Structure 1
Amino acid sequence: MTPPTISVVIPAYNEGARLPAFVEQLTRSCLVTVSPMLELIVSDDGSAPEHQEKGRASVEAARARLKEAGSPHRFRFLAAGRNGGKGSAIRRGWRESDPQAGWLAFLDADGAVSAEEFLRLASLAATSRDVDVVMGSRIRMAGRHVERSLLRHLQGRVFATLTDLHFHLGYYDTQCGAKLFRASMLRPLLNRLREDRWLLDVELLVLLREQGARPLEVPIDWADAGDSKVRWGVDAARMFWGLKKMHRRLKRPQ
């Protein structure tokens, strides 16, 4: 079997209402796009049985359609025994991914980044020789369409500012749920990753900067899917406190 160019982990927790439609969207895009070749891994993060079953069934249906069409792309489904967080689900998926993949990626399950937009990023990564990180960015600018509530936009800008104060990464948007990493740079870091939830993005970018990774932040179209699992106030406070803890941890010699 030809190895995939990109292994994409889609972390999912109780996404039975949204995930099947997004898997269908991804399948349609894969049926009309040959390159880059994708391994799409739905990594269920200990969802309730009814949600997990819907996710598994959607992946099985996608696999059957791709096989029938002779498509080189492939879908897989992984299930955790208990909920461990988005970061945990992503790391699990990467560890189970095809070791021959040239790029490792993750994509949020809510469909806020469409299949077509993700494939645009994937094609850019697969054809770039001087880039090691390709990350979507929700920048409101001419030619791009971003639908996002004012509250979530403001929360994002505050978080981005605090992240830059701690780590000086220089990115506009560290938390967009579509990122791709050159596998040769990311795989050696997998055992160093500790963040189980939303701060995995920042941890990855900090560690990859230490390795000299060359990043590219790409403005994308984004449509807020609603029903965010990030709770204003409680989770924001946890993320901000988590930044401080991670900053102290990453400053210590390894």
Structure 2
Amino acid sequence: MKILRDTWLVYQRQLLIVIRTPSWLVIGLVQPFVYLLLFAPLLKVALTPMGATSYHDAYRIYVPGLLAALAIFGGLAAGFPLLGELRMGVIERFRVTPVSRLALLLGRALRETTTLLAQAVVTVIIALIFGLTVNPGYLLLAFILFTLMSLMSAAIAYAMTMAVRNDGALGPLVNTVSQPVALLSGVLLPIVLAPLWLRDTALWNPFYWAVAGMRALFQGNASDNTIWIGLIIMVVLTTAAVTWSARLFSSRVS
């Protein structure tokens, strides 16, 4: 129970920081809105091979990929605020308190996940205005997949930050990890449109299964096996990422 209480206390403090600086949310929404406004209108023709005969169909394919990009890039960027706290001695001051080291990590990761989820909800609302239609129940399940992706990305980001602890190295490292992972997930265009060698490579990317599952949900294909495969993979790997990150956090901070 102590770990839950400590996590809640850290989460509340971190969420209060976000509320006091709402510009973080606004800035985070700019890129998805720009992609919906300027890139999505090109999709009806580009996605015709997948049966997209209208913008309604195109948004069902594109929006899940856009949400996945938000989870991957936004989650992996979570290490930069932590790096700032390490540099300013915020984490060091928490060392003298009885707060659990795991709670210090989980509270921050849940803050990042909440922020990304809020951005995802607004992105979907904008997409609904633009013409997207999706079953509410399936949308809720897609948000669960999104939440797991965000939490996993944030945990990996914290682990990389604790391992590197350097601005000059962390930025290139995040880019090196995020770009191939995102592209092999099919966030912009589905991997099914890619050459065979690229499709075979994407099967080894866990985020590919999550994106494929989200697309199946947006298209109303609840019987698609990729949904459950994606959920299982995300639950297992998110648990592993949080455990790995927590151990690094505990050993490097204590």
What's the TM-score once normalised by structure 2's chain length? 0.25
- More contact order relative to length (CA 8 Å, sep ≥ 6): 2
**Which structure has more helix as a fraction of its residues?**
2
- Greater gyration radius: 2
**Which structure has more strand as a fraction of its residues?**
1
